[in-house]
Amino acid sequence: MNEKIRKKLNIPVEKVPYCLRNFGNTSCATIPLTLATQCSDLLIKKKKVIATAFGVGLSWGSVLLSMDRLKTLEFIQY
């Protein structure tokens, strides 16, 4: 679904990070997990980020995140 939407909107692949290949479907943890593992260096440089998620039954949600005081911890994988 994400790939189809990305192509339809003509957004470059590097602007649509996801961690499905690495972790599978993590449900509600997908967005924070993707941010922590794929985007932490980029997020420190940005002041605002728009995140959009798509779910089962065509549910979706979007949020504008303010990154002014972002603190990230090192990701530890067992």
* Tokens 């985007």, residue located: 39
Per-residue pLDDT, 7: 93
For the segment(s) 2-66, the CATH number from 3.90.580.10, 3.80.30.20, 3.40.50.1010, 3.40.47.10 is: 3.40.47.10
Per-residue pLDDT, 51: 81
Hey, where are the domains in the chain? 2-66
Q: Which residues pair with 78 in a beta bridge?
A: none
User: Structure pTM?
Assistant: 0.59
Which tokens go with 74? Answer: 């090192």
- What is the C-alpha separation between 28 and 75, in angstroms, rounded? 17
Q: How far apart are the first and last CA of the chain?
A: 29
Q: Kindly give the confidence (pLDDT) of every residue in the chain, 78 residues in length, as a single tens digit, with 9 standing for 90 and above.
A: 778 888 999 999 888 887 777 788 777 777 778 877 877 777 767 778 888 877 777 788 898 988 777 776 777 777
